[in-house]
Amino acid sequence: EDKVVQSPLSLVVHEGDTVTLNCSYEVTNFRSLLWYKQEKKAPTFLFMLTSSGIEKKSGRLSSILDKKELFSILNITATQTGDSAVYLCAVLNTSGTYKYIFGTGTRLKVLA
Amino acid sequence: DAGVTQSPTHLIKTRGQQVTLRCSPKSGHDTVSWYQQALGQGPQFIFQYYEEEERQRGNFPDRFSGHQFPNYSSELNVNALLLGDSALYLCASSSSRWWRERDTEAFFGQGTRLTVV
């Protein structure tokens, strides 16, 4: 059965800390791995990763994919209270049609 | 350029009732996928519509059904509601270019929060 596992489930840090969120997967017909940030309702897109070893960066956020070991990490440096959210990892699976398989998410709370 | 719009935003229904949720995809997108997100969980794939047909269904009972209209908008219907159907229902809009291009992602609506009492 296809699955995406995220760790930790929740995390509390102070402003300025650096955090690393983990995502491992076992998915047939892997196409790409995506990270989303979910604050209230709609997940908002952060990164799409298709190739191993190539880091993607956006400001204080960065992510990398290891297709051999089947995992990805999302790093957030110099965290701010506005980073508080649920971070979702999703794998784009192409069995039958293109659909996402999501992990349960990591709930990050950044304290001032 | 309007993003993905869903209606209603909140809904309270009684067990046994039926509900219809609506989604209008982002301009230029022709594929709509529906996901159910229970509290504390990640979204789970319900089904996907393209060219007015259901392309694939996740592990959801037949009480969940859908429709796509010629303008690409979509409805999700749930019959005989159970307490366990309480969740955030997300609509994801994408382009069938996914079948041809790598670097595209789905865009999510704000969701409909369904509470079954």
Measured distance CA(B8)–CA(A60) in Å, rounded: 35
Q: Is B21 on the interface with A (CB under 8 A)?
A: no
Say if the Cβ atoms of A42 and B109 lie within 8 Å: yes
CB pairs under 8 A between A and B: 65
Residues of B in contact with A101 (CB under 8 A): 45
DSSP B3-26: --EEE-SEEEE-TT--EEEEEEPP
pLDDT attached to residue B2: 67
**Contacts with B62 (C-beta within 8 Å, 6 or more apart), sequence order:** none
Contact residues on chain A for B26, CB-CB shorter than 8 A: none
What pLDDT, on the 0 to 100 scale, is given for residue A41? 82
Q: What is the pLDDT of residue A51?
A: 85
Candidates A45, A96, A105; nearest CB to B42 = A105
Confidence of residue B10 (pLDDT cuts 50, 70, 90): very high
Residues of chain A numbered 20-79 and touching chain B (CB < 8 Å) = 31-32, 34, 36, 40-45, 48, 50
pLDDT of residue A99: 85
Residue B1: the pLDDT is 55
pLDDT digits (tens, 9 = 90+) for B54-94: 988 999 999 999 999 999 999 999 999 999 999 999 999 98
What is the model's pLDDT at position B104? Answer: 67
Structure tokens at B88: 């955030």
Whether B102 has its CB under 8 Å from any CB of chain A: the answer is yes
How many whole angstroms separate alpha carbon B56 and alpha carbon A102?
17
Which backbone phi and psi does A12 adopt, to 5 degrees? -120, 125
Encode A67-88: b = buried (16+ Cβ within 10 Å), e = exposed: eeebbbbbebeebeeebbbbbb
Interface test with B, best of A89, A97, A101, A104 (most B CBs within 10 A): A97
Contact B19, B78 (CB under 8 A): yes
Query: What percent helix, strand, coil does chain B show, rounded to 5?
Result: 5, 50, 45
Kindly tell me if the per-residue pLDDT of B99 is higher than 60. no
pLDDT above 80: residue B97: no
Helix (H, G, I), strand (E, B) or coil at B93: strand
Q: How far apart are CA A92 and CA B81, in angstroms?
A: 30
Tokens of A69: 């070991």
DSSP-derived letter for residue B80 is S
**pLDDT tens over chain A, length 112 residues:** 889 999 999 999 999 999 999 999 999 888 889 999 999 888 999 999 988 888 999 999 999 999 999 999 999 999 999 999 999 999 988 777 778 999 999 999 999 9
- β-strands A10-14, A106-111 pairing: parallel
Run of H or E residues at B48: strand B44-50
Band the pLDDT of B98: cuts 50, 70, 90.
low
